[in-house]
Amino acid sequence: MRFDRLSRLITYLLVATSLGILILSGELGAAFTLIFGPLFLISIPVSKRGLARGVALWNTILVLGLIAAGAFGALTGDWLRYAIYFASLMVTAKLFQQRNSGDFFQLYVLSFLQLVAGAVINPSLSFAVAFLAYVVLLTWALLFLQLRRNLESIAAADPLTAAQPERGAEALMASPRLSRLVTPRFLGVTSALALGLFTVSILVFLLFPRLGLGFFGSHRQSGQSVSGFDEQVELGGFGNIKSDETIVMRIESDTSVQSLLPLRLRGIAFDRYDGNTWSKAIPKQDAPRELVRIAEGNFFQVRREPRTLPEGALRFDLRVYMEPLRTGVKTIFGEHRVAAVRDLADETYTDYRRRTKYRRDANDDILYESTSSSPARYIVRSIRYRRDATSLRAAGTVDRDEHGRYLQLPGNLDPRIRALAVEITKDEATSFDKAGAIERYLLANYVYSLEGGHDDLDPLADFLFGIRKGHCEYFSTAFVILARSVGIPARSVGGFYGGVYNNVGDYVAMRQADAHSWAEALFPGEGWEVYDPTPPSGSLVEDEGGFFAAIGSYIDSMQLAWYKWVIRYDLDGQIEFFKSIGRALGGSPDMLPNRRTMRAYWKQFKEALPLIVSSAAVVVLIAIIVVRRWRRRPPVLTWSGPASASKADLRAARRLYARLEKAARGRGVALEGAVTPGRLVTHLRGLSPYAAEQADVVVTLYERVIFGGSALAPEDRRQAEGALLRLKKTPMPAIERSTAI
């Protein structure tokens, strides 16, 4: 493949990679793809034609684009989004104006800016794959760029092409000799070099102290939209996501996480129902209280753990890695009896002002507040045990002043619902038995379905007495309203139930399809108990098996590893990494400095950072100056091979070549500046093929002795002498005399 064509192909692949990272993020909307995708494709056939010369047109477009990006950024406050739009517009402009090496260089710089922006808005495994490809492509592109610059310099220095250096450079790029230089082996070696440098950069990443991203770090991903976790939820929302296999969180545990399945992760509870919508009606005086940090493991205490756990109880910690979610309430997901919670990072070396804050509201929801732009990651400690029926039957009476909101019923409640509740529980004496009877009734008499179609005015009555089928929200709502109708405090709860075990990464993936709604009933003195009246066919969503599911497990485990070791690899993670190395080597992890000392070191490092950066800049500047001066030195040609040619042979070869130049001048060829032997022969061939043939005899001998180190044989000298004599006698066209090379 021709050099120029291969160079442009690599350039387009490089830009496509950085552009693809932005498109795959999903953060820039469909408009970004619809604008820049077609422009990228159109630029391929027309980049070297008419539009490539429309500098004024593209400058006008860029000025208007800058004004529009600034205006939209000021109006929306989303500066990063519109900075990406403008950078992509500049990339597009350069794609249509690939004229010389300067344009290619600017294109590479702009594509690198796109890559940096993509690292912020697309911190997924797709970025990792694209980044690896980008490293290799950029290495190729820079090598081709240097070759292109050298060819342009040669064309500019040649008097024959100085008037149109671009045409001259294109002619040089079409040389078969240049095409033979860029072989698959050449690309393979440069790829290996690029991957080696990439490996070294990984070590730098692991060892260099973690710093913030500043402006870019403030970007928050829009995330997935998940129904059921807002201040208000309309009855029927969960049915829309039961078929969505998108992963919303991944969960690890020191306990066998597979043995904990199915997981029931409680998220948010609702206490008020108006006939169509669930909401939180917590009194103002019951504002969420901030949790207190306890000594053990830097956890925040949610509730006091019993001194002795009930028989058969299990106490376990879950490490939860959330995906970006769009929810109205920032809630922690944990099992029913959550005892403590903390951020997954140890926070030993984190500024206390930036630590995650946790609160618990009157509905026992655990809320969090964080300055980090990344998705939540935390450890939640729970206690799981079975209900003690004897204790629950002996529970105290309900205090309506304290728990009255959990007995609230809609003002327009269908009277048949209260009558049904009385009928179901007429043979039961205690609240515990009544709640069990309601749960059994719903499980036995109603069908799970995602079809919907319930009456908009009174969907619950239509579910109970009409179509008699629905999804989990209808079952949980029916249980709560029936229980309240017979005096049992109850509330509706939204969360996730189920999970898919990934045997590759040893963790559980929770999907949107696992979103679920159930109920909790209150037994004074004993607390809240879980009731799930939804048939098992609707509660648990089975995992998709087969070959593609197995491949998906490998890919998803890589996604979790990427998130843990790259996206969320902060100072605390770095310290833990060093501790793990110490443990592996048989040392003590406590050999690292304590928190106070480490924070003092970190403060000194941040104070000295400007000096470090400025010193590094000075060193780089000096290195650039030294390199530039070194490159300007006149070349010194030496032969490092076998010493076959003597000094006398070298002197004789130089004299023969000097006589060739003299003969060329005598034939009317003006030699201006430094002219290579090859260019001299090429020019003579355009004037007289016979003269060029004689000159080629002398040039071949000259190159073999000077650059090849071969000895100058007497026969070779006689042939060169004869060729010079014939050249002097060769007639030259009069019109070409005095032509300069």
Backbone angles phi, psi at 689, to 5 degrees: -55, -35
Helices marked H in 176-231 — which ranges?
A: 176-181, 184-207
Q: What is the pLDDT of residue 212?
A: 47
pLDDT at 740 over 60: no
Rounded to whole angstroms, the Cα distance separating 660 from 736 reads 18
What percent of the chain shows pLDDT beyond 90? 26
Tell me the pLDDT tens digit for each residue of 210-240: 544 444 445 555 666 666 677 888 886 555 5
Rounded to whole angstroms, the Cα distance separating 509 from 257 reads 11
- Written as six digits, the tokens of 405 are 């909101």
Tell me the pLDDT tens digit for each residue of 233-271: 888 655 555 667 888 999 999 888 999 999 999 999 999
Q: Are 386 and 308 in contact (CB under 8 A)?
A: no
More confident position, 620 or 108:
108
Residues 6+ apart with CB under 8 A from 185: none
DSSP-based three-state secondary structure for 194:
helix
Lowest mean pLDDT among 330-344, 346-360, 518-532, 671-685: 346-360
Helix and strand numbers (H, E) in the chain are: 23, 24
- Written as six digits, the tokens of 72 are 């939209």
Mean pLDDT over residues 589-613, rounded?
Answer: 62
- Written as six digits, the tokens of 207 are 């060892």
3-state helix, strand, coil in the chain (%, to 5): 55, 15, 30
Bridge-based pairing state of the strands 507-511 and 247-252: antiparallel
DSSP-based three-state secondary structure for 704:
helix
Q: What is the pLDDT of residue 273?
A: 94
Rounded to whole angstroms, the Cα distance separating 734 from 366 reads 96
What is the DSSP track for 366-410?
A: EEEE-S-SSPPEEEEEEEE----HHHHHT-----HHHHGGGG---
pLDDT at 506 over 70: yes
Q: Are 480 and 491 in contact (CB under 8 A)?
A: yes
How long, in residues, is the chain?
A: 741
Q: Are 179 and 1 in contact (CB under 8 A)?
A: yes
Mean pLDDT over residues 526-549, rounded?
Answer: 80
Report if pTM > 0.75. no
Amino acid, res. 437: A
Rounded to whole angstroms, the Cα distance separating 580 from 574 reads 10
Mean confidence (pLDDT) of the chain: 80
Tell me the pLDDT tens digit for each residue of 564-583: 766 666 555 656 666 666 66
Tell me the pLDDT tens digit for each residue of 662-691: 888 877 776 665 577 877 887 777 778 888
Q: Is the peptide bond between 677 and the residue preceding it cis, with omega within 30 degrees of 0? A: no
Spatial CA neighbour of 6 closest among 182, 170, 169: 182
pLDDT at 11 over 60: yes
Mean pLDDT over residues 81-110, rounded?
Answer: 88
Q: Are 505 and 560 in contact (CB under 8 A)?
A: yes
Distance between first and last Cα of the chain = 30
Rounded to whole angstroms, the Cα distance separating 100 from 116 reads 25
- Written as six digits, the tokens of 625 are 């100056």
Tokens 């890919």 identify what position?
Answer: 555
Q: Which domains are seen in the chain, by residue range?
A: 3-217 (no CATH), 224-539 (3.10.620.30), 647-740 (no CATH)
Mean pLDDT over residues 508-532, rounded?
Answer: 92
Q: Is the peptide bond between 262 and the residue preceding it cis, with omega within 30 degrees of 0? A: yes
Burial per residue of 115-143, b for 16 or more beta-carbon CB atoms within 10 angstroms, e otherwise? bebbbbbbbbbbbeebbeebbbbbbbbbb
Tokens 């879950």 identify what position?
Answer: 318
Q: What is the pLDDT of residue 575?
A: 60
Backbone angles phi, psi at 366, to 5 degrees: -100, 115
Mean pLDDT over residues 35-61, rounded?
Answer: 77
Helix (H) or strand (E) holding 513: none
Q: Which of 382-386, 444-448, 595-599 shows the highest mean pLDDT? A: 444-448
What percent of the chain shows pLDDT beyond 70? 77
